[in-house]
């Protein structure tokens, strides 16, 4: 049912009825020369398939059926958002692997863009688009990723286009969340006033320029950060995954470090911050094999690996403040190659020759300076790559080791700080940090169909 302005005010499910039917046959039948310059048949069919997939993401309320002769070739069922469409296009993706966020651009922020409206009047704009919005469907990096960046897609006003600057922002925002040489799955749909779009970038109009590019880059950074948070109001469902199912099946049928270290229990108000941000309330209840923290929350339990959770905390601290400090006592390093010395100097670590095949390090990263194995850490950094890799290596070496016993306050402090990180789902190497066991999955495993607190009879 539509109102006088043409907007849907009431919807209900009905049997599918024929919509637009397009029949295509005998393309370029009268110009056989044109066919010789066309790609292979398989490439052409793949191109058609991609176009239909892109349109279905932009218009999720449309059901698609494509017949090739008498055979059904493509079938895409409608959904309320693009989140329901994406699992139909990628068979390895489940609905629970995706995070969906839709938000309108604040009017005050939009007014700050100060864009001239060229030849359009404000009335004409309201007829085309009454507001600006951003819609994001993000594959959670601890659950799904790709070998190629072929599923980082951006749509503008109902059409998928190429905007390299925004694609790079998406990839960089999710850096150090996916495993090495893997790329995120992301569909971003922007509803933007037409006067902010410049189509004069490519003759085919498949690539565009955006006015106020920095503004949209900031908005994308913010919404991706929001999607990765453990916020209770946008957390996706946690069905019983195949991995968890195997673990439970094995249980039905039937360590790595030795260094002693501890977590500081800081007196700050991280728990209050978590509540203010609407994050899931995690309560540490036990430690398993001095490696995993068992935490409960209102709808189940999580297993969190303490080393990589702490590694994520330290890595983000280093990203915010990478600091090199002077050492009171120089650290002696042996048998460094010229390439290793250059690498340390690139990281602003001061190294001087101290003898035959002996060097003295006068500075070191603040996080490593007071460690007993600082010399080994500097040797490791000398073999690394860029500054980003050095931060990852430093965080990994400085994090609490698996095999270290922790008290309940120490575990709770670690959980609170971990939840406040920007990308809490994976470590900087792309490994998942936690395993979720939801109460509903446990109930199915124990074949519990009754209500807790009530007797289920004899």
Phi-psi domain of 425 (left: phi exceeds 0; alpha: psi -120 through 50; beta: other): alpha
Which contiguous run of DSSP H or E holds residue 190? strand 186-191
Q: What is the CATH number of domain 279-452?
A: 3.30.1540.20
Q: Between 350 and 439, whose confidence is greater?
A: 350
Got the DSSP string for 132-169?
-EEEEEEE-TTT--BSSGGGEEEEETTEEEB-HHHHHH
Q: Please give the distance of CA 195 from its chain centroid, rounded to a whole number.
A: 31
Q: Looking up tokens 């800081």, which residue turns up?
A: 266
Whether 279 shows a pLDDT value over 80: the answer reads no
Span between the terminal Cα atoms of the chain, in Å: 52
Angle made by CA atoms 38, 42, 47, in degrees to the nearest 5: 75
Q: Which residues of 156-169 are buried (b: 16+ CB within 10 A; e: fewer)?
A: beeebbebeebbeb
Average pLDDT over residues 254-271: 47
Cα 142 to Cα 432: distance, rounded to the nearest angstrom: 5
State whether residue 31 is helix, strand or coil. coil
The pTM (predicted TM-score) of the whole model is 0.74
CATH class belonging to 20-111+128-230: alpha beta
pLDDT tens, residue by residue, 369-427? 888 888 888 988 888 778 888 889 889 988 999 999 999 999 999 999 999 999 999 99
Over residues 284-303, the pLDDT tens digits come to 999 999 999 999 988 889 99
148: left (phi over 0), alpha (psi -120 to 50) or beta: beta
Question: CATH 3.30.230.10 region(s) of the chain?
Answer: 20-111+128-230
Q: Where do you find CATH 3.30.1540.20 in the chain? A: 279-452
- The 3-state DSSP class for residue 319 equals helix
Give the number of other CB atoms < 10 A from CB of residue 240: 17
169-226 pLDDT tens trace: 999 999 889 998 999 999 999 999 998 999 999 888 899 999 889 999 999 999 999 9
pLDDT band at 260 (very low <50, low <70, confident <90, very high): very low
Tokens 């936690």 appear where? 434
Rounded distance between C-alpha atoms, residue 382 and residue 349, angstroms: 10
| Residue 276 and residue 404 in contact, taking contact as beta carbons nearer than 8 Å | no
């Amino acid at each position: 049912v539509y109102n006088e302005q043409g907007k849907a005010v009431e919807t209900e499910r009905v049997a599918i009825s024929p919509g637009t039917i397009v029949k295509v046959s005998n393309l370029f039948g009268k110009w056989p020369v044109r066919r010789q310059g066309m790609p292979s048949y398989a490439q052409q069919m793949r191109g058609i398939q991609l176009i239909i997939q892109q349109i279905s993401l932009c218009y999720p309320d449309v059901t698609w059926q494509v017949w090739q002769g008498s055979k059904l070739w493509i079938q895409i069922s409608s959904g309320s958002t693009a989140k329901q469409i994406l699992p139909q296009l990628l068979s390895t993706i489940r609905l629970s692997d995706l995070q969906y966020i839709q938000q309108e651009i604040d009017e005050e922020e939009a007014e700050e863009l100060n864009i001239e409206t060229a030849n359009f009047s404000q009335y004409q704009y309201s007829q085309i688009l009454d507001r600006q919005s951003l819609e994001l469907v993000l594959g959670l990096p601890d659950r799904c990723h790709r070998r190629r960046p072929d599923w980082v897609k951006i749509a503008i006003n109902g059409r998928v286009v190429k905007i390299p600057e925004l694609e790079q922002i998406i990839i960089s925002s999710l850096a150090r969340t996916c495993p090495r040489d893997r790329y995120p799955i992301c569909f971003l749909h922007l509803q933007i006033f037409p006067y902010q779009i410049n189509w004069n970038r490519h003759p085919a109009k498949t690539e565009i320029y955006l006015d106020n590019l920095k503004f949209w880059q900031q908005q994308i950074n913010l919404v991706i950060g929001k999607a990765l948070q453990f916020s209770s109001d946008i957390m996706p469902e946690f069905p019983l995954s195949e991995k968890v199912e195997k673990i439970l099946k094995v249980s039905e049928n039937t360590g790595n470090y030795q260094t002693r270290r501890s977590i500081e229990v800081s007196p700050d108000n991280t728990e209050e911050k978590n509540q203010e941000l609407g994050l899931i309330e995690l309560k540490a209840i036990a430690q398993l094999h001095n490696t995993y923290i068992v935490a409960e929350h209102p709808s189940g339990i999580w297993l969190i690996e303490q080393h990589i959770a702490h590694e994520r905390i330290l890595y983000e601290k280093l990203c915010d403040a990478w600091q090199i400090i002077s050492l009171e006592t120089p650290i002696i390093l042996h048998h460094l190659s010229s390439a290793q010395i250059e690498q340390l100097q690139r990281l602003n670590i001061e190294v001087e020759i101290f003898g035959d095949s002996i060097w003295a390090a006068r500075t070191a990263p603040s996080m490593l300076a007071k460690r007993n194995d600082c010399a080994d850490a500097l040797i490791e950094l000398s073999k690394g790559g860029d500054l980003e890799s050095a931060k990852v290596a430093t965080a990994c070496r400085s994090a609490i080791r698996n095999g270290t016993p922790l008290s309940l306050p120490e575990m709770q402090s670690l959980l609170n700080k971990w939840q406040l990180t920007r990308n809490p789902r994976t470590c900087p190497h792309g490994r998942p940090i936690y395993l979720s066991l939801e109460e509903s999955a446990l109930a199915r495993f124990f074949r519990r169909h009754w209500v807790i607190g009530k007797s289920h009879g004899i």
